Structure formats: structure tokens, C-alpha cells
Structure 1
């Protein structure tokens, strides 16, 4: 089977489309299973619907319904797809799965079951039924080339579908997560060319495609001077679907039952309380009581836990979805005023809070993503495998130093030290100078004595949205161990922001 080209209506997603079409075009005998997951609004349904259409396959979108109604709807859809004189009468889910496998008797057929968790909610044994249907040696499987794709947005459920002792573990030949667009792709999708404006917009809406199309009706800022007006009319406007989206993101996951607790945990993180102890203190709970809610938020894809590379057993939490951070920091404290359509007033008094709690931390995360995904290979004298924030302690003075970036190389094959490729500091609203570089140099000297890390190639990275002082630019012009990064460098803009200051980017 020739793999179809990606439809023009799908932005980016080249990797996902290639994986899906390769799975669907597999000519080998035997039915196969694939699992597609991702938070809502990422374009999963569009991808799978277009895949089914391009391969003349079968697509079924499940809804919240009883098992009997779902079976009836599936029978109607199968009858229409096969050209039967009427709906197929499905005696149960075992018969339904066998009917799906029967579609592939003559050759590879794409079969998509979208919103699979809805079906399992009404028929708890459905994963076990599919496991039995795909038993090796069973004629219904061996005589079929159905390419069955199960898709869902409940990440906690989908994540456990193939894990541990789950019935479908070991049955799937494809496990495809559909992630939000990265910050560069998001800027292209929104049609934003100015790097500073791109960071500001990404720090609110992130890389979720639907937030531009359906949720603000293609309303994008018309240049940097329009950003404040855009926030008021598109984000803080009760008439726009984006206004309540952050609340719905929590309400949609069935595992997030205690909404008040989860909102409080997210608010604590948005306020800068990244440790478990800090979160516990903010919400008035014991740290030991937070294991379950933190795990649930991680499983739902709303929080991520990042270990500190320099402090064993220590980690920090970060909100993955920018819109939730913006909601917790700016919208939730002023919800009544926003519902009364006083968005302009709320935004005017919230700008400082937006900068410190939303924009600054997201800019730091963009810099970390740049080090892993977009920096040229020679920038760090090695491949960056991990990038995170960290804390370095100085035993001699009993002080600690916060680092916005620690870039680690790939772990060694043996027991040798791991390459520490760079340490860095990131600032959104301040021009950086010699004092910032000197601070990093002192921290690097502390790390020279730390076991387990190879610091022979450690470079010093300074990233600023406001640029750098002239004396700093001059002093590092001949220093290959210093990297200066601005938004133009982050977005790969050759003739953009960074050209106004010579010497920005990699100093080699």
C-alpha cells in the first residue's frame, strides 16, 4: 500500500503522520493494534479522521453513552461502511471487535476508535476483550490485516492502557503521543514573526492548535503593539471559549475528582512553589498528603516532576500547560471581575504578576528546550540529553545558587562522570552584564569539585530578552566558553532581534 501524503489542512505533525501511515500500510498478515494519546485540542481527531479517509478506512467516534447505545451506534456505522442493507446487529463487544477484525480480511484496513475511554467507561472489560481477540494464533486475528487504532484524551487512562499488568500490554505495535506544538512551530502556526511577541503569546496559549482556530476564531495579535488588546479581547473575554478552558482541562479528566485540591496544587506551583514542601505549605497540607494529587496531576499530563541533577532525591514541579499557569496566576484571583467584563482593568493591574509568574518561567523553559532541540551541535561541544533547573550548594559559605539551566550530555557507557555541558542564567526583563557572567563563573568553580560530573567542557550561558551590555559583549567576543542567547537566537531569526546587538548567539 502506498503511504498517502499528509493533507494540506494538517499543520506540522509530519512525524506523527509518517508513523500513522506506516502503521496503516503494513502489509504483513495478522491484525495489529496501535494506541494514540494526547491532551484534548492537539489535533488527534483530525489526524486520525484524515488517515481513515486517505486510506479508505473506518472511523468511529465514541460518545458518552451506555454500552447498548454504543454497540448500536457502532453497528450502524459498520453497516454504512460495508454497504450492508442495514445496521449490523452486534450481540456484544466480543462480536463487535471480531467484526472490526473482519474488515481486514482482504488487505490492510485502517480502523480508528476515537475517544476509546468513553467505551471502556461503559464496558470495563473491553480492553480484555480486545486482548483476547488479538491472541496469537486465533484465526480472527491471523486472517485479518486490520490496523486497529485506539485513541483517547484521558492521559491517565491511556497511559495505563499498555502499562504494567494491563490486558493490552505487549499487544500494541504503535504507541504514539500527540504533543502540543513546540514554541517555534507555535509561532509559525499563529503567524507571529516577532520573537518577543512569540514568547509572550506562547506563555499564554502554548502550542495547542485549537486555541487559535476554534477558541479565538483566528484572532492573533496584529503586531507587538496589539498584544495587550489581544489578551483582553481573546483571553480575558467571557464570550470566548478560551476564557474557561483552563477550568475544563481539569474537569475533563475522570481521575481529577477533587477539583478544589488540584486547583490549589496548581496555584501553588504557579506561585513559584516548585518543591513538595513548598506546595504543602502553600495549600496548608502535610507534604506526605500530596503524593496522590501530585501523581494524579503528573499522570494527567498537567504537571511534570524534574529531578535536581545536583541534589539526589530533590526535585521540582512544573506546570506543562501554559494556559493553566496563566489562569492560576492572572485569571483565578480576579475571576469575579473578569466575569463582569472588567478584563481591561484586570490586565492593567496584572501585568507585573504576568511577567514574574508566567512570562519569566516560560521563557526559562523555552531556553531549556532550545538547548535540547534547536541549538547547533557545536554550541555545547556535545549533544544535550537533558536540560533542567538546579541548585548548587556552597558548603564553605552555607549558601545556595539557583541555576535556570543545567545542560547534561548523554550518560557514559561505563561508570565515568557525566558531561556537564553548560550552566546558565535566564532573565526576561533585565539586560545582563558582567556581574551575571561572574556569578556563573563562580558557580562553575564550585562544580569543579563535585564528583560524578565532567566539567572540562562546561560552558556559561546567559539568556536575556532585553539583551546584553556592551562591555559584556566585548569581553566575551574571544571566549569560546560563553554563550549569549536572545529571543532572535531562540527562534532562529537571522535578521531579527539579535542583529541589533553584534556578537549575540554562539561566541566561537
Structure 2
């Protein structure tokens, strides 16, 4: 299968689909493709069907009878049989789909599968029965049936626990947003500081540039403010209301106001359950369910504290939602009035740096450590990268660690703490930051949880480092300075 020239990256996803679809083994097989909305799943699967001569069906939110009529018509147009299909039930429809692979491996895609299963909850069981190992319709077919959906909570349950399809799938593919390096390339941005500012708003979602912004990318650092005003804060563009629609499209989110308030609490810096509960003036137990639902929907991400058990913090997983709650939602009435965007943005830029850009920069630093940093430079392969708070018993205070890199434990030994780091977006870092990290390393060593024998000290800065900081690296190889060019692989 040749990947379409117009498809940006997605090398891993296309390769996985190619191997699954072209697998010559006899017998129909099942694959599940999921991912948040706007990541290009439909484009990916439709392209795979075109490349392999398969059948693609995009479901809509409709009654069961209407969906059966639609797939009957679509399959009739695809196969062109002597008489049109008129499926009375999904058992007939699935058998007809399996018949497509009678002579060769053929991809068959049921996109937005949660819509079909919502109208007919028995559909997963029907597919399970159709794929029963010794059933003639399965053994005589090489259909590669792909179920796709954006409702992450539903798709996550499809193959878990006692679900009917558990153990039936030969492919489970998650289409994720582009990472910060690929996103910069996709937006055609070469300046790393500009790339990170754009990424803190739109993340790595491909549709936001091609469809939602109609290809509008900042022409340079000096164009960033104008770009925000004419795209994100412009009521005429789809990006303006996208964050609200993302929440509304999740089927498991019923009390929308409560979920909006939970996200607003996190965007305002209340990252713990207690902080969220205080912001909402509720008990922590009252918000446990909405937090879990937002996690399952892929909108909220829980980060465990590397140094303290049972002290997780939460962050908004979709940058555009974080930007909406931090910048747009508090002044929504003003933004809806044409011509107000520039005034609002002028008054919101400080809040953007503190509540959006700063936390996003820290997360990019953690992502870099986990996925891009040289393992030899870190002293080992990271097993876990997070952040946390280190208690200082003498000063009776806690020290926040922005980046903590834990290695793989060797046998019964304590896990090695490969590195700890501090991330500052707007500060030029110096010796004081390095001395602070040294003190924290000593506190961690005293606590005895990790092996700190070879722990490195990392300083991440979006504004650079002073001469004394560079001089410190010359006398101590354990100190590393990581700037924006390093984060973006341009060093």
C-alpha cells in the first residue's frame, strides 16, 4: 500500500494499517482504531480503503433502521450486485461485509462505530458471533474489519474486561496528535519559540491548520499576536467555538456545566482534587465522577507525583481546551462581539504566559525527556518521566520539580533517578537554578526512595542561560542546559 503523497507523516499508523490489511493469512480479522477528534482517522482509513480497494462506511447519529438502510445502499453502490442489498438486521450486514474478502484481503471500515452501537447495543456481540473461530463465513473470508471511533471512553471499553470483542482484535491502533516537533513542521514554522507558542494553543491536531484555519499559519514571530486575533479569537472561524464543541460531542458528558467547571478549575491552576473541589466549593468526593469521565474521554490527564504516593495532579490534555478556559471563557460575551478580539488579547497576554504557555512548556520538556532525549546523555533509558514535590523537613516546605526522570530498576535495587530538571519559559537561567536543583537532589537522596548516585541536573529555558550557567556545565558534566533549539532537534 502506497501512502498518499498529501498525507503528512503518519508513517507509523500507515505501516501498521498496511501490515494488518495486507496480511495474507486466511480468516477474517478485526482491528480497532481510535483517537481524539480531528486527528485524521477518517482521512487515514479512507485512504487505506482506496489504496487496497476496500469498503468505507461512515456512520451518522441515526436510528438503527436508518443505519441499516444507509449501509445497504453504500454496499450496493460498492459491489453492484444483480439485486440491491436490503439488510433486515446487522447479522446479515456483517456477513455481507465478510463476503467481500472471499478472494483476497480487503479492508472494511465502519467509521464512527459508537453511533452504530448506541442505536444497537447488540452490535459488538453480533460481530463477535460473526468472527467465531470455526464459523464458515469467517474462515472463508479475508476481510480486515476495522472499527473506528472518536468517543474514547466507548472505544476503550470495546476490548476491555468482559466486553464481547475482547480477544477478537488483531490490531488496536491509537491515532495520536502530532508531537511538538512534527507539529512545527506541519505548521511550516522553523522558529522554535514561535512553534512552541502556537503549539500551546492548537497542539498537534492536523485539522486545525488545514480545515479550521484554512492554512493560515503565523508568518513569523511578529505575526503571532495578529494570528491569534484573526484565527483563534475570531468568531468567524471554526476554531473560535471548537473547544466548546469538543466537550459537547462526548456522549458520556451529560452535566456539561459541571464538566466545564472542572476544566476551568484546572485551567486556573487548581491541579489537585482538593484544589478543584475548593474552586467549585464542593467536596472532593463530589467531583470524583466528573474527573474520571473526563479522563476516560481523553480530555483530562492524571499525572502521578514522582516523589509522593497518592498525590496526583491533573492537566488538560487538549491545548485548545486549556486556552479556551484560561483566556476565552471568562470573557466570552466580549469575544462574541465583532472587533473585540484585539482588545481582549492585549489584556490577556500575561495570563496566557502564566496559565497556558508556562505549563505547556513544562510538559513539552517532559515529553522531550521521554521521547527525544539521548539515553546515553541521561545515563539510561527513561522508564518514567513526570514531576512532583520534594519535602524539605528542615525548612518545612516543599520544592516543586518540573521534570523528574526515573530509570529502570535493576533487580531489587532502588530505581535510579536519572535526572531532575527545572523549566522556565521567560527566565534567563543561571547558577541559582542549578544550586536549587543540587539541594533538591540532596533531599531526594536523604529520603532514600531513589538511587541518586548519578542523577543529572537539567535546566530548561525558553529565554536562554547566562555565562555562569554555561561555565558550570564545563566543570560538572552532570549539569545540562536545554534550550528551545534542543527541544526541537535543531541543535
Shorter-chain TM-score tier: over 0.9
Structure 1 residue runs without a partner (length 5+)? 495-508
> CA deviation digits over 1:312-350, x for unaligned, max 9?
111111111110110000000010110002000000000
TM (normalized to structure 2)?
0.98
Aligned pairs for 1:168-187 (under 5 A) are: 168-187=165-184
Between the aligned partners of 2:266 and 2:81, the Cα distance in structure 1 is: 55
Q: Is 1:230 equivalent to 2:227 in the alignment?
A: yes
Between the aligned partners of 1:371 and 1:123, the Cα distance in structure 2 is: 45
Following superposition, the deviation at residue 160 of structure 1 comes to 0.6
Q: Look up the match of 1:49.
A: 46
> CA deviation digits over 1:49-74, x for unaligned, max 9?
00000000111111111111111111
Structure 1 consecutive aligned stretches of length 4 or more whose deviation exceeds 4 Å: none
Between the aligned partners of 1:206 and 1:260, the Cα distance in structure 2 is: 24
Between the aligned partners of 1:264 and 1:470, the Cα distance in structure 2 is: 45
Q: Is 1:402 equivalent to 2:400 in the alignment?
A: yes
Between the aligned partners of 2:364 and 2:406, the Cα distance in structure 1 is: 16
Candidates 194, 208, 212, aligned match of 2:209: 212
Q: Look up the match of 1:24.
A: 21
RMSD: 0.9
8 Å Cα contact 2:472-2:479 kept in structure 1? no
Structure 2 residue runs without a partner (length 5+)? none
TM (normalized to structure 1)?
0.95
Q: Is 1:243 equivalent to 2:226 in the alignment?
A: no
SS in 1 for 2:474: coil
Following superposition, the deviation at residue 118 of structure 1 comes to 0.9
Q: Look up the match of 1:359.
A: 357
Between the aligned partners of 2:282 and 2:5, the Cα distance in structure 1 is: 50
8 Å Cα contact 1:93-1:129 kept in structure 2? yes
Between the aligned partners of 1:253 and 1:433, the Cα distance in structure 2 is: 46
Between the aligned partners of 2:282 and 2:251, the Cα distance in structure 1 is: 23
Between the aligned partners of 2:123 and 2:335, the Cα distance in structure 1 is: 44
Candidates 125, 149, 163, aligned match of 1:152: 149
Q: Is 1:431 equivalent to 2:405 in the alignment?
A: no
8 Å Cα contact 2:33-2:148 kept in structure 1? yes
Candidates 472, 475, 491, aligned match of 1:475: 472
Between the aligned partners of 2:300 and 2:84, the Cα distance in structure 1 is: 44
Following superposition, the deviation at residue 92 of structure 1 comes to 0.5
8 Å Cα contact 1:256-1:296 kept in structure 2? yes
Candidates 345, 348, 351, aligned match of 1:350: 348
Q: Is 1:443 equivalent to 2:449 in the alignment?
A: no
Candidates 298, 304, 310, aligned match of 1:313: 310
8 Å Cα contact 2:113-2:147 kept in structure 1? yes
Between the aligned partners of 1:18 and 1:421, the Cα distance in structure 2 is: 33
> CA deviation digits over 1:395-429, x for unaligned, max 9?
233211001010111243x3221110001110011
Between the aligned partners of 1:408 and 1:270, the Cα distance in structure 2 is: 27
Following superposition, the deviation at residue 86 of structure 1 comes to 4.4
Candidates 276, 289, 292, aligned match of 2:289: 292
Total equivalences in the alignment: 490
Q: Is 1:263 equivalent to 2:260 in the alignment?
A: yes
Q: Is 1:192 equivalent to 2:192 in the alignment?
A: no
